[in-house]
Amino acid sequence: MILSEHLVIVPIVLPLVAGAVTLMIDETRLAAKAAISVVLTAALVAAAAALVVLVDATGTHVYRLGDWPAPFGIVLVADRLSAAMALLASALGFACLVFALARWQREGPRFHALVHFLLMGVNGAFLTGDLFNLFVFFEVLLAASYGLALHASGALRVRASLHYIVVNLVASLLFLIGASLMYAATGTLNLADLASRAAMIGSHERVLVESAAAILGIAFLTKAGMWPLCFWLPSTYSASSAPAAALFGILTKVGVYVVLRLWLLLFAPGSGASAGFGATWLVTGGMATIAFGTLGVIASQNLPRLASYSILVSSGILLAVVATGDPAVTGAALYYLIASTLAGGALFLLIELVDRGRAPGADVLAVTAEAFAAGSGSVEADDETGAAIPAAVALLGVSFVACALMLAGLPPLAGFVGKFALLDALFRAPTVSGASWTMLVLLLVSGFAVVIGMGRAGVRRFWASPDTAVPRVRVIEMVPVAFLLALCAAITVEAAPVMRYLGEAAAMLHAPRSYVESVLSR
Amino acid sequence: MNEVVVACAIGVLTASGVWLLLRPRTFQVAIGLSLLSYAVNLFIFAMGRLRIGAAPIVAAAGTPDPAAFADPLPQALVLTAIVIGFATTALLLVVLLAARGLTGTDHVDGREPE
């Protein structure tokens, strides 16, 4: 099938084309831009979904760029995990783009092109099978994210972006050092080739490979937001415009994905003398991230910061359990990853709607709000398009509760299923270590903290806030939030097939043999 | 001897870059990042082993001896890294000018220390 052969590269080429086209259309013709963007992003979601179905039916697909054989040319590899991640990124991007149509696309230039290039970089990072190509896609997504972080400008955003850009430039330099060191030690940059050589490397080069992996790890963990490399994250995410912040939720997951992929390829249990290298660091770092995020969730005075810290918590949970080296745990973690990304995206979009119409600076006094209750309501200038929704507060409230349930991991939604599956897998393992018990406590305490933090914020927003004008919410802004929450509901109802798919993805990750063979065989 | 010179050059560039990166003014940070990226580019280049008088291109005729040629791959990587580093440094310069204009100071935190 010639078409299915090329489906692997479509999630990269389609956003590239969309970005190029929307870049060339003049800023005054926003309607044309919006139409092209929405159609092409919908096509991207369809293509990623088709890729998931294809990979699930026929196994790993390898796409050789320029038809060079594997260790010499660059390959794209679509296995179950990368296809699922590409679908997740595309769906999140679609929701953010539609959300931005109501208002945010007018707040600054070239919003559409930036979103498309970000999606291109993210999908490329998920699909590539080459270490240096991964660097290039990282730079593509970072360059686009710099632009999106600065979208709509303002002193706060520029200041936060300055820190964000500097931190990520340093991380990129570390990435380069790690990649070139890896090349010097092994003579290859192809991930599958690296995996096959890592097992039989001499003790002299082993030191270099491990140093290279550690340096690369710092670069990726900065993206993933592991404590203590995460201090840039809350201020950047909470300062960004709502659709950009929601989209940034996938960036931390790119970091987690790369750690998962590289660590299991190079240092999976049973892969020679370096097996399990850095596992203790991942586990302790992940746990420290959960603890830090939990404190942040409780201490946050405004909703965007709270949402940023809840992203840190989910990053920490994923990093801490990835290193257990148990396929069942990894499968559950992947389910939790998808659930938390969707819920985090929905929450960032929702926050902007909920906070609309609140007096600026109202959050500064949030913790002592009772003492300063006599605020002044401010009504926004009405320059938006689309019909307003009646009973907006009720709708927002229901969505807010759904987000809180997802992030806290309470039944009946997917957050609960994910956390429950995680704990189940942790305690079903042949040896239940002390780390599993620590993990249990941290999972429950962090969930409890999210309940407290979001409960407090929700009560103040929806029940007891005298200074809030009723927000005017457009249908086109509510649809993306509902779309993301519907996806959460869908993976809850269809948990069995999703779990089965992710379980197989995890099993393949833990048996790098088949990945290596499918890349290097032809 | 060759290796010592290159290693010292990379070391000095990195040390200066890191020191500048930790300074409080945005321009110092930008210059620090540039120095660091020079150091990293030299480092990538050196990772292909240092050779003098060896071409990176293999002649078409016959079976070439790989030992007589320089490794072309790190050179290609350096080229990519230079281009990307150049673009991101330009972007950083724009952002730091914007920050200077919006906050009225060139301190990295956007306000002068007390």
Q: What is the mean pLDDT of chain A?
A: 85
- pLDDT score for A472: 75
Q: What is the 3-state secondary structure (H, E, C) of A49-86?
A: HHHHHHHHHHCCEEEEHHHCCCCCCCEEEECHHHHHHH
Interface of A with B (CB under 8 A): 132, 136, 139, 142-143, 146, 150, 153-155, 158-159, 161-163, 165-166, 169-170, 172-173, 176-177, 179-181, 183-184, 189
Task: Report the distance separating Cα B59 and Cα B69, nearest Å.
Answer: 10
Size of interface A-B (CB pairs under 8 A): 84
In-domain check, residue B111: no
In the predicted model, what is the mean pLDDT of residues A472-483? 86
**How far B69 CA sits from the closest chain A CA (Å)?**
15
Q: Cβ of A180 and B47 within 8 Å?
A: yes
Q: Which residue has the higher pLDDT, B60 or B51?
A: B51
Could you tell me how many residues make up chain A? Answer: 522
Q: What pLDDT digit, counting tens, does each position of A192-202 carry?
A: 888 888 777 87
Q: Cβ of B91 and A132 within 8 Å?
A: no
Query: Rounded to whole angstroms, what are the CA distances from A60 to A5, A13, A129, A263, A504?
Result: 11, 20, 12, 19, 12
Q: Cβ of A150 and B103 within 8 Å?
A: no
Task: Report the distance separating Cα A306 and Cα A40, nearest Å.
Answer: 33
Tell me which residue range forms the domain holding B77. Answer: 2-51+67-103
In-domain check, residue B96: yes
In-domain check, residue B82: yes
pLDDT at residue A392 greater than cutoff 80: no
Q: Name the percent of chain B in helix, strand, coil, to the closest 5.
A: 65, 0, 30
Q: Which residue has the higher pLDDT, A3 or A113?
A: A113
In-domain check, residue B76: yes
Is the confidence metric ipTM above 0.90 for this complex?
yes
Which CATH number is B24's domain given?
1.10.287
Residue B21: its chain A contacts at CB < 8 A?
A: 166, 170
In-domain check, residue B58: no
- pLDDT score for A375: 39
Task: Report the distance separating Cα A491 and Cα A84, nearest Å.
Answer: 13
Taking the alpha carbons at both ends of chain B, their separation in whole angstroms is 50
* Domains in chain B, number: 1
- pLDDT score for A365: 44
Q: Which residue has the higher pLDDT, A465 or B41?
A: B41
Question: What is the sign, positive or negative, of the torsion defined by CA atoms of B34, B36, B41, B46?
Answer: positive
In-domain check, residue B6: yes
Q: Of A45-49, A350-354, A386-390, B49-53, which range is least confident?
A: A386-390
Q: Of A2-6, A75-79, A378-382, B66-70, which range is least confident?
A: A378-382
CB-nearest partner of A146 from B43, B91, B103: B91
**Band of pLDDT at residue A366, cut at 50, 70 and 90:** very low
- Radius of gyration for chain B, computed over Cα atoms and rounded to the nearest angstrom: 19
pLDDT at residue A369 greater than cutoff 60: no
In the predicted model, what is the mean pLDDT of residues A326-332? 89
In-domain check, residue B19: yes
In the predicted model, what is the mean pLDDT of residues A331-338? 92
Q: What pLDDT digit, counting tens, does each position of A116-173 carry?
A: 999 999 999 999 989 999 999 999 999 999 999 888 888 888 888 899 999 999 999 9
Q: What pLDDT digit, counting tens, does each position of A223-258 carry?
A: 998 988 888 898 888 888 889 999 999 999 999 999
- pLDDT score for A378: 38
In the predicted model, what is the mean pLDDT of residues A418-447? 87
Q: Cβ of B47 and A173 within 8 Å?
A: no
Q: Cβ of A176 and B74 within 8 Å?
A: no
In the predicted model, what is the mean pLDDT of residues A381-397? 64
Among chain A residues, the shortest Cα distance to B47 is held by A184
Tokens of A488: 């959460």
